[in-house]
């Protein structure tokens, strides 16, 4: 049963619950390809293989050769790590540690608990923002919940915006309106759906920080009509293995200057 499920899942993914019979007839003529992406990485040789959670991947129509200019641009781009970005923008060590604790890229990814506003664990940026918010909103509860409205923009989500502008610039070199992007879940799984048959490049566009290195994936894959090649996950990793279809190019993280 489980084996059969593996074969059927990609097909079934194109059929939402409750789809009518007449709609399923149309499924054969529409874009119905599916890629079940599974990203698993090792942070070091001794570390266990684990799902790469919450990373955005892009599926770009065309072969590597057809997207050569884009792939070269991806490989040429300057790399700035998260810690380096925040250091360069004057973040306190406490803020950098707070972000690192939950692997956050912005201050929006977790609640700012009272411990980080005042007391020995306080993050200076949060303490300052809280004081301003309390003055503005008149009560401590709103001040803490709305604290990020008084954090300077660069320290709030500047790292995300910087990366977004790099992605937007890179995507200008891709076929307009034809790029899909999805984010992996906590197990490193994500689905690209409604794909037309053809050749695609799967890429993360901007390098992923894996411990002390940066990993970039740029691989070609094929989607065919009624393609059962998708019956198994499309496995990508930073380690070679017979099941891995796309291996990352890893580079040491550059020194922060």
Partner 1 sequence: MKLGFYILVLIWLQPGAVDYTKFSHSTPKHKSACITCHKIPTKDWTKASAFPDIVDYPDHNACVSCHRPQFFRGARPPICSVCHVKTSPRDEARLAFRNPASKLQFTIEFPHDRHQDVIALRHANPWRSRLLAHAAPQQNFNNCTICHAPAAAVSTPPAGGWLDAYAPPAATFKAAPSDHSSCFSCHWKSQEPVATNCNGCHKLATPYVAAAIPARISLKFMHDGGGEKKQHVAECTTCHINITKSATSRGLKPDVPITACTECHNKDGLRQDLNTELAALDKNRAFTCVYCHTSNVGKLDAPASHFLIAQRPQFKRR
Chain contacts with partner 1 (rule: CB under 8 A) = 1, 4-5, 8-9, 11-21, 23-24, 53-54, 56, 101-106, 108-110, 137-138, 141-142, 145-146, 148-149, 153, 156-157, 160, 164, 180-183, 185-186, 189-193
* Alpha-carbon distance values, 128 to 56, 100, 112, 117 (Å): 33, 20, 13, 8
Burial class (CB in 10 A: 0-12, 13-18, 19+), 25: exposed
List the Cα angle 250/254/255 in 5-degree steps: 150
Shortest gap between Cβ of 245 and partner 1 (angstroms)? 20
Of the pair 172, 240, the CB lying nearest partner 1 is at 172
Min dist CB 195 to partner 1, Å, is: 12
Number of residues that this document lists for the chain: 257
Query: Rounded CA gap, 51 and 186, in Å?
Result: 7
CB of 202 to partner 1, least distance (A): 14
Contacts of 203 (CB under 8 A, 6+ apart): 57, 58, 60, 71, 74, 216, 217, 218, 219
Backbone torsions φ then ψ of 234, nearest 5 degrees:
-85, 105
CB of 132 to partner 1, least distance (A): 11
Instruction: Select from 71, 39, 70 the least CA-distant residue to 55.
Output: 39
**With respect to partner 1, which residue has the nearer C-beta, 110 or 121?**
110
Choose between 2 and 257: whose C-beta lies nearer to partner 1. 2
Q: Which is nearer to partner 1, 68 or 100 (CB)?
A: 100
Please, which residue, 52 or 74, has the CB nearer to partner 1?
A: 52
The CB-of-123 to partner 1 minimum distance in angstroms stands at 17
């Amino acid at each position: 049963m489980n084996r059969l499920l593996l074969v059927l899942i990609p097909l079934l993914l194109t059929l939402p619950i409750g789809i009518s019979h007449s709609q399923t007839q149309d499924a054969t003529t529409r874009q119905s390809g599916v890629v079940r992406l599974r990203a698993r990485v090792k942070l070091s040789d001794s570390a266990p293989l684990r799902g790469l959670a919450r990373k955005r991947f892009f599926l770009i129509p065309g072969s590597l050769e057809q997207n050569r200019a884009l792939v070269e641009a991806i490989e040429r781009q300057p790399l700035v790590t998260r810690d380096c970005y925040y250091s360069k923008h004057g973040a306190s060590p406490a803020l950098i540690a707070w972000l690192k604790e939950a692997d956050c890229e912005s201050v929006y990814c977790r609640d700012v608990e009272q411990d980080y506003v005042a007391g020995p664990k306080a993050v200076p940026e949060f303490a300052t923002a809280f004081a301003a918010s309390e003055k503005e909103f008149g009560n401590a509860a709103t001040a803490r919940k709305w604290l990020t409205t008084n954090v300077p923009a660069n320290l709030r989500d500047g790292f995300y915006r910087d990366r977004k502008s790099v992605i937007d610039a890179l995507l200008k070199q891709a076929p307009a309106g034809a790029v899909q992007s999805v984010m992996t879940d906590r197990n490193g799984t994500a689905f690209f759906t409604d794909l037309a048959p053809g050749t695609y490049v799967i890429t993360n566009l901007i390098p992923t920080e894996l411990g002390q290195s940066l990993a970039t994936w740029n691989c070609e894959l094929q989607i065919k009509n009624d393609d059962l090649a998708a019956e198994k996950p499309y496995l990508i990793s930073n380690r070679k293995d017979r099941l891995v279809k796309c291996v990352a190019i890893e580079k040491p993280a550059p020194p922060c200057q």
